[in-house]
Amino acid sequence: MIELSGTLIERLNEAIRLVCTPVSEKEVAGFIALYEKAGIELLPSAIDYFKQYGGAYRNSYIMLTDPKRNKDISLNCFDTITDFYYSSAFDPVETEKDMLRRLDWAMDDIETVREFTGQNICPIGEVGYTYPALVYIGEDSKLYCIYEWTEDIGVFDTPAQILEAYLRNNIPIGVDTMPIRTDIDDYPKEVRTKMSTPGTARLKYGDDFFEIRCFSHSEEDEKSGNPYNCSFTMKVRSGEFSGQSHCCECDYKDIKELITQLEELVNFKTDEAVFRELAYDSTIRFTGDGCGHITVSGTIYGDAKIQSLQFEFMTDQTVYPSFISDLKRL
């Protein structure tokens, strides 16, 4: 391990310099092609950012004072680099389809950020700790952050500054070599996908959506009989209203049950599927009319149930196969 010293921002600047490896011209071309396929204008500042930070976490990672949280640091660009098969806990291997979907989600907030900045912007990636910020870059090369827990938009010059705002109580102490996975190609494709997919499942119909994100499952807690073995965030947009519920928890068997119920719903074997999380009893209902139309409704709660959002929007069965596939990969 290479030890770090100095102030927090000095440690982060040095750590990021050490974990970033060069990006090839082929990878830059792939990055540009991805945004073209997504129909997103890619700014020159975004290309420069990718050249500098697109190779992060390939062969080394940042060590924290609490080593159990090392993998919670995010420093990711929206790209499809899969040439380096390291530990999937640090560097998920994502398909082009996965990344196009994430770029599509990032466009949900782009008008809000564009209005805030008064300039052209584009989504560039995620940077943060535990609940990373969605990062956009402007023509001025500044980084604009959308967070899960506040409507405020953060403005920074570098990824190190973004991480500095997160890492007040768990500071970087060093940079260590990433454990290389030499066995990923030996697994079937569907297993590789399940191993490497980030914990997000989204149901989107028009501008409305329901999303489970930042999903984490503790197999150890599940085996011990602890029903609070999954943690995640739920986010909803319904018409002009939106909200999100942090610190959600459930038993992994509840996710499996939801999958079963939804499969039966879209195959007209039942008329309702219900998902209820344990922390604040936020509840989501999927109600079919027997003709392929499915109403999504429910109530999600904020911390301590002080705030809540009651919602309802219409979908049809065509959008459920991808949502069910996402759920199976959580």
214-234 tens-digit pLDDT: 788 888 888 888 898 888 889
Q: Is residue 89 part of a domain?
A: yes
Same domain as 143, residue 78: yes
Same domain as 169, residue 40: yes
Same domain as 230, residue 173: no
Residue 177 contacts residue 60 (beta carbons within 8 Å): yes
158: containing domain: 2-184
Same domain as 311, residue 241: yes
Same domain as 307, residue 265: yes
**Of 125, 158, 184, which residue sits at a domain end?**
184
**Of 122, 155, 184, which residue sits at a domain end?**
184
Does pLDDT of 87 surpass 80?
Answer: no
Q: Higher pLDDT residue, 126 or 285?
A: 285
Token readout for 126 is 């995620």
Sign of CA dihedral 305, 307, 310, 313: negative
DSSP H helical ranges for 22-79: 25-38, 44-53
Token readout for 265 is 């719903």
Nearest to 243 by CA among 282, 281, 275: 282
Same domain as 203, residue 168: no
Q: Is residue 54 part of a domain?
A: yes
In the chain, where do the E strands start and end?
2-3, 60-64, 73-77, 121-129, 133-138, 143-146, 153-156, 172-177, 201-205, 208-217, 230-238, 241-250, 272-276, 283-288, 293-301, 308-316
Same domain as 215, residue 83: no
Same domain as 163, residue 110: yes
pLDDT of residue 179: 55
Q: Is residue 191 part of a domain?
A: no
Same domain as 206, residue 288: yes
14-34 tens-digit pLDDT: 999 998 888 888 888 889 999
Same domain as 167, residue 19: yes
Domain count, the chain: 2
Same domain as 252, residue 104: no
152-199 tens-digit pLDDT: 999 999 999 999 999 888 889 988 876 544 444 444 444 344 333 347
CB atoms within 10 A of CB 118: 8
89-104 tens-digit pLDDT: 344 445 677 788 888 8
What number is the average pLDDT over the span 131-148? 93
Nearest to 296 by CA among 250, 234, 252: 234
Residues 6+ apart with CB under 8 A from 198: 92, 94, 98
| CATH value at residue 215 | 2.30.31
**Of 184, 214, 249, which residue sits at a domain end?**
184
Nearest to 94 by CA among 166, 14, 30: 30
Same domain as 86, residue 7: yes
- Give the burial class of 149: count Cβ atoms within 10 A of its Cβ; 0-12 exposed, 13-18 middle, 19 or more buried: exposed
pLDDT of residue 170: 83
Average model confidence (pLDDT) for the chain?
84
Give me the torsion for CA of 16, 20, 23, 28, rounded to 10°: -40
pLDDT of residue 247: 77
Cα separation, 258 vs 276, whole angstroms: 9
Q: Is residue 264 part of a domain?
A: yes
260-272 tens-digit pLDDT: 999 999 999 999 9
